[in-house]
A and B are shown apart, each in its own frame.
Chain A
Amino acid sequence: MRTDLSAFRLERPRTLDEALATLASSKERLTLLAGGTDLYVYLNAGLARAGRWLDIWGLDELRGIRESGGYIVLGALTTYTDLQASELVCAVLPLLAQAAATVGAVAIQNRGTLGGNLVNGSPAGDSLPPLLAYDAELGLRSARGSRWVRLDGFYTGYRATVLAPDELVELIRIPRASAVAVTAGRYVKVGTRAAQAISKVVAAFALGRSAAGEIAHARVAFGSVAPTPIRLRALENHLLGRKLDDALVRSSADCLAAEIAPIDDIRSTARYRRFVSKNVWVRFLEECF
């Protein structure tokens, strides 16, 4: 690796409380280590932050998928393999299950966690659009207590979050109501190749139609088209109360174009990202008819 480890220390708490206490008492900002699939790429490349690291991978309190009080609740250490293996997730949160199946390949899915994907905060993170589309909330925990924040407000800028230095992500919860409201959904990943690919554009679409055929529920979430994963609020509002027809396809595509701000980077171009974002949306709507 390109990192001299002599300036690194690893601490391995046995319980969540121990981890929280360590976080609370540390003067320097600790680096939390979960599955390591992001951190080790940085470490091997000589780009990781030296200092104290806190290993949370062993904290089983942060694992598990359950239903409780109208929510589906996922531990922060839930891996992509766990998601795909969960009947509950596959049945109720299909967009998330599909996303999990497109992350990296098996060895990555076995180690990569939702908490890591969320906090690493890459705008290309594949779990983020489905979580946004399902109105996910994050349970943040510190020795000071717990709080819930909406994923929609979690990011403050490119790879920046509201997480305090002494906090960690404990849970992710999704209101069952937000999941069952979806009558037509789609997860789209446009990666650099068929597998083991970082997304050039990733999106989750979740629409619900009333008995009368009007759009009563709309979530449109994109990754890799802005500094953070985003929900297209104006587009969602535009859809609400309308019926799906050609005109709506066209006008909504215009809304979409106005709301995204992709850039050129090493994986793709802004022009391509615009082209694809619009097309996958239009194709989804057309195929909903």
Chain B
Amino acid sequence: MKIVGTRAPRAEGIEKLTGKAIYVDDLPLNDFLWGLTVRSTIPYGRIRSIGFDPSEDWSGVTIVTAKDVPGKNVVVLLEQDQPLLATERVMHQQEPIALLAHPDRERLWELAKKVKIDYEPWAPVLDIDASLAVAQKLFRDDNIFKSIGIDKGDVEAAFSRAARVVERTYETGLQEQAYIENQGMVATYDAAKKRLKVAGSMQCPYYVLKGLCPIVGLPPEQVEVEQAATGGAFGGKEDYPTILAAHAALLSMKSGKTVKMIYDRVEDLMATTKRHPCRTRIRTAHDADGRILALDIDATMDGGAYCTLSPVVLSRGTIHAGGPYNFENVRVRSRCVATNTPPNGAFRGFGAPQTIFAMERHMDVLASIFGEAPHRFREPYLLQAGQTTAFSQNVGEDVCIVEIQRQAVEETRFVERRRACEEFNRTSRWERRGIGLATFLHGAGFTGNGEVALDSKLKVDVTPDGIVQIFSANTEMGQGKDTTFGQIAAEAMDLPLSRVRVVTPNTQVVPNSGPTVASRTAMVVGYLVQQACKALRRSLEEHAGKTWKDEAEFASVAADYLRRRGLLEKWAQYQPPPGKVWDDKAYRGAAYGAYAWACYVAEVRVRLDTMEARVEAFDAFQEVGRVLNPVIAQGQIEGGVVQGLGYALQEEVKMRQGVMANANFTNYIIPTFADVPEVKVHFAERPYPFGPFGAKGIGELPMDGPGPAVANALSHALGVEVNRIPATPEHLMELLQGE
């Protein structure tokens, strides 16, 4: 292969490196208004009235409330429980109630203070326990957005014959995506033509389209959604942009002008979605030798005030809960509950980091109870060819987790370093060192039959000057999709990269190739690129009666084709890999077409005087099918790992009365250059037959490992069980003092 697998430079690199890339706040606009959202300041209650301070001159201000919504006042996702603008009651702090637009952005903040909302406050439900106790009914009768069960073998029988049962509870906190570009959207409504255009920072233009149409009461043909350059997303720009787009659209429809809404950091942190907090109880039954007879997992996530994507997050979390292991008897029960907090949503990993944290901590807890090294204790249970996961998927031959873990242990000299840490700890007065690993898998693409339901379509064509164009709705948000799609197409066409162009996602221009989420873009949609290009190539070769020897010849073949026959475009549509069956009722079977397999190793050093922990070394081993571009793939892993290190040690969303109290970058602490070590990335490649040139998805994978690897290392260093993240110094102190 000439292009796939090379360090092809980032397709949009030049624009990004010269400041020319146009993000939403950079769009050149004339004669526009700024928009601002007026939000609730209580977590739960009735809105008695919305008033506008009469001492203020409101004549130049565009005001939108729920009654200005031309269509349905609802954010359509899985349920229809979330209003776009609150009417009678508010369900969480920062819930949008009214919208203002004005030419002067700074004035808007003064104006917003003069919108007086009178509430009748109700006692809020602020955590999982209160929700489960149904202190208030927030969602249906039981406050449960979704519950899931997985069963394999006979768990009860295994527990009844167990010599020993080990039970622990593991907790993970809220986490903020913390993309550096805040959410933003620009909307222009042309009343004469009844056409709406929105452009902004987003992952999924077709989600925005689907959400907007019923709200603005326009058919999709009259609504155009375009992605601007997007400064990071990580899931945070999966569902929320629909709300922001609709807000900007309503202000534009009412004012007749272009409206621009850009959140500042504080608003973005307080109002937008975060990773679901999760509490996972794990029980294992053991025989007299400590061997695991059965695994019983019970996980609860906090979904916030509205359902949004919680059921899907819960689903992925539940499926990944059993880890890369072959246990005979497994039971998983999980649920996602409602609380009066801002809705939680998509974040890289989508539920899996939470449950994998619990599983991988539990394996270390067991290893230490039964006196074995962590990797040795895990090894007998690691999935091998022909064995089945917790949800009874036969992993076939596509499994190499035993090898990956062995490689990780050997190449990191895990055993020697573990001993060295213990030696160090015996003599050091003020410091402790520890090393830990986490072994895990991550499924790529939508779960179960999800990809079939998405029915993704993609188009390629060729221009008269011999450029192959890729039309897909998938967005570039830093992950390198424009580059890898270009590489796939160039390779498939046997052309240099300069002959391929990736078209900017715009719902009027590109077909719906599905959302840019779930590690699906490279693997699922990239495969469509390959298929479509194959077809394109076949047509051109047939036309020419031969293949081209260079790009010039290609260009003339293409030009000739178009001259004689007009258009040349090829479509590709998703086809499920053969023989993969998923039973959504029983939660059994082929949850994902392919998995990436990984083992991550972290070494930490803890200062005992301050309980500050530093990750001194980090190694990430994984099998990912084919690496399409090593620079981009490493970048994905390194970035995900550092996000995971923040999750493990530093990033704590401090909620007070249902709202983030540390809502700025001064107090929500993400890792800096100085906080993290070099992340060493090691790839193993086993081409996957249904991915482009063998590639599997990797986007979310690196988020899963750091949490448990670091907590395992901390537990090793300190000799206490670190079963909650973030393991802040304050938390570690409490743990040690509790001993």
Interface residues of A, Cβ cutoff 8 Å to B = 1-5, 41, 44-46, 105, 190, 192-198, 266-269, 271-272, 275-276, 279-280, 282-283, 286
Contacts and interface: CB of A to CB of B under 8 A. Distances in A.
Q: Interface majority SS on A: helix, strand, loop or mixed? A: loop
23 contacts: A2-B106, A2-B109, A4-B107, A5-B106, A45-B664, A105-B672, A190-B610, A192-B667, A193-B675, A194-B672, A195-B672, A195-B674, A268-B730, A272-B611, A272-B729, A275-B611, A275-B733, A275-B737, A276-B609, A276-B611, A276-B729, A283-B430, A283-B609
B106 A280 contact: no
B266 A280 contact: no
A1 to B, nearest CB: 6
Contacts of A276: 609-611, 729
Contacts of B674: 193-195
Interface of B: 104, 106-107, 109-110, 264, 266, 429-430, 608-612, 614, 650, 654, 661-662, 664, 666-667, 669, 671-675, 729-730, 733-734, 737
Given A276-B610, A279-B608, A45 B106 contact: no
A190 B609 CA distance: 10
Given A3-B109, A286-B429, A267 B673 contact: no
Contact of B730 (A41, A272, A280): A272
Q: Interface majority SS on B: helix, strand, loop or mixed? A: loop
Given A266-B654, A266-B662, A283-B609, 9 more contacts: A44-B264, A190-B612, A190-B729, A192-B667, A192-B669, A193-B671, A268-B730, A269-B730, A279-B610
B94 to A, nearest CB: 15
B728 to A, nearest CB: 9
Nearest to A41: B666
Contacts of B673: 195
B666 A280 contact: no
B672 A279 contact: no
B106 A1 contact: yes
Contacts of A283: 430, 609
B33 to A, nearest CB: 16
Contacts of B729: 190, 272, 276
Contacts of A195: 672-675
A80 to B, nearest CB: 16
A198 B666 contact: yes
Nearest to A283: B609
Contact of B733 (A41, A196, A266, A272): A272
B109 A196 contact: no
The listed residue with most A CB atoms (<10 A of its CB), out of B610, B650, B674, B737, is: B610
Contacts of A41: 666
Contacts of B666: 41, 198
Nearest to B430: A283
B109 A46 contact: yes
A269 B264 CA distance: 28
Nearest to A278: B609
A193 B429 contact: no
B675 A194 contact: yes
A101 B676 CA distance: 19
A3 B733 CA distance: 40
Contacts of B730: 268-269, 271-272
Nearest to B106: A4
Nearest 9 Cβ contacts at the A-B interface: A279-B609, A194-B674, A195-B674, A4-B106, A272-B730, A2-B109, A194-B675, A283-B609, A192-B669
Contacts of A44: 264
A196 B106 contact: no
A67 to B, nearest CB: 33
Nearest to B109: A2
A252 to B, nearest CB: 15
Contacts of A282: 609
Contacts of B264: 2, 44
